[in-house]
Amino acid sequence: MFRKLTLTLSLVFAAALPALPVLAQDGPLRIEITDGVTEPMAIAIPAFHGDAEVAGRIRDVVAADLTGTGLFREIPRDAPVAQPASFGEAIAHDDWRAAGAQALVSAEVTQSGDAISVKFRLFDVYAGQAQGDGMQFDARAADWRRAAHKIADQVYARLTGEQPYFDSRVAFVQETGPKDARIKRIGVMDYDGQNILWMTDSSSLVLAPQFSRDGRRLVYTSFDSGFPQIRVMEVATVTSRPLTQDASSMAFSPRFSPDGRWIAYSREQGGNTDIWLMDAASGAQRPLVQSPAIDTAPSFSPDGQRIVFESDRSGNPQLYVVGVSGGEPTRISFGDGRYGSPAWSPKGDLIAFTKQMGERFHIATMRIDGSAERNLTESFLDESPTWAPNGRVVMFTRVAPGGNGQPRLHSVDITGRNMRPLSLDFAASDPSWGPLMP
């Protein structure tokens, strides 16, 4: 069976194709993901058929997506296995099995003018049969990278049993200039650092952009009025408007609720910082957490019913949870050190945060009751964690000691094993990982 998806820059729609027979099997090939050391699955990704140039580019992105997870290793391209002459030709399962492959991706790419069509199949080499349906992606030629990410997402989901995350975008802040006079602007890019779109210029300081769950809007802190206030931006049109304009108070650290109706943010007035809620449509506001302490960095639970935030009410920064209807916050962090910048996983099971222990910083996770705390990183300065849409990978900002203190974006999985810098040729901070694209 083939399923057909047509991609546009902003929308995807699906239509069924006539079914082709797919052999039954006792159980799908599946990589087992555990907290211990995982032996990467050996996967063959031979040259894609069809238009050689675009097919080669798409194949390389698929391979980079999969091997970048640390869960897959690619069989060398020069493996002594006869390549099929066409997409429809049978796979030499025995030969690929002898080369050590457990799975194989086969694809064909055709281009006509400014449109491309990509067909692909995933094979269980050991079982000698297809795994799942074949699929066809039709897209503008300019969107070839999205087609590649969609293929990798399908392979990842079928071989891990987890939700995918490659066809997603990240908002971030580009930083230029000396350490004491940074120039910043907001950009949006593919999860792997490609296809950058600039959302703001460098005329005023901007901080901490955050995607809405549907990926259509960004909220962020702007200093265009001379002091921190919150703005909201429509990503498709790159138009923004202020949400707060009170000259007597500062507003910062905004986050959307999952349904997009509410924005939680920090409000400082008279030297005191509290958590407030704002109706995103009407602008109506109300205090949620008020105390003599510094309460900041709110993050919604996936169901929108609770908020985790940072507060120094116990003497040093710790993490607390409160319901959106208010009430007494519950402390959930009790370890040594200083806790901050919490981010609730989209799966709802974990909270990522920054932890400072002495002179070292960590990106860490804990369960929502504060148990099972785990450090994922350790460095001179790690901060601002954000979750991939499937809740398996965390992206964050890392600053190395000395020099000009240039921040760089890194990612790490929830086991702490697969640490990777993002390939950007400029300094960047404050990542916000958006949803999987439709």
Mean pLDDT of 283-303: 96
Give the span between the Cα atoms of 260 and 287, in whole angstroms. 18
Write down all domains in the chain, each with its CATH number in brackets.
2-160 (3.40.50.10070), 169-436 (2.120.10.30)
**105 or 33, greater pLDDT:** 105
* Higher-confidence position of 303 and 204: 303
**What share of the chain has pLDDT > 70, as a percent?**
92
H or E segment to which residue 152 belongs: helix 144-160
pLDDT at 327 over 80: yes
Predicted local confidence at residue 35, as pLDDT? 64
Q: What is the pLDDT of residue 6?
A: 58
DSSP letter (8 states) at residue 424: -
pLDDT of residue 401: 87
Stretch 132-136: mean pLDDT, rounded? 90
* H or E stretch covering 65: helix 52-67
pLDDT at 1: 56
- The mean pLDDT value of the chain amounts to 91
Give percent above pLDDT 90 in the chain.
81
Q: How many whole angstroms separate alpha carbon 231 and alpha carbon 8?
A: 28
Between 19 and 96, the higher pLDDT residue: 96
> What would the pLDDT profile of 353-375 be if each residue is shown by its tens digit?
999 999 999 999 999 999 999 99
User: What's the mean pLDDT in 51-63?
Assistant: 96
pLDDT at 11: 28
pLDDT at residue 304 tops 50 = yes
> Would you call 42 exposed, middle or buried from its count of C-beta atoms within 10 A (0-12, 13-18, 19+)?
middle
Q: What is the pTM of this model?
A: 0.92
d(CA 117, CA 429): 36
Q: Please give the average per-residue pLDDT across 96-114, as a whole number.
A: 96
State how far the Cα of 319 lies from the Cα of 361, in Å rounded to an integer: 16
With contact defined as beta carbons under 8 Å apart, do 308 and 332 qualify?
A: yes
Is 387's pLDDT higher than 90?
A: yes
pLDDT tens profile 417-428: 899 999 999 999
Which has the minimum average pLDDT: 3-7, 143-147, 310-314, 325-329? 3-7
Provide the strand spans (E) within 8-157: 12-16, 41-44, 49-50, 72-74, 103-112, 115-124, 129-130, 134-140
Token pair for 372 = 């099972």
For 240-266, b/e burial (b = at least 16 CB within 10 A) is beebbeeeebbbbbbbbbbeeebbbbb
**Which contacts (CB < 8 Å, 24+ apart) does range 283-291 have?**
283/243, 288/264, 288/322, 288/324, 288/326, 289/322, 289/326, 289/329
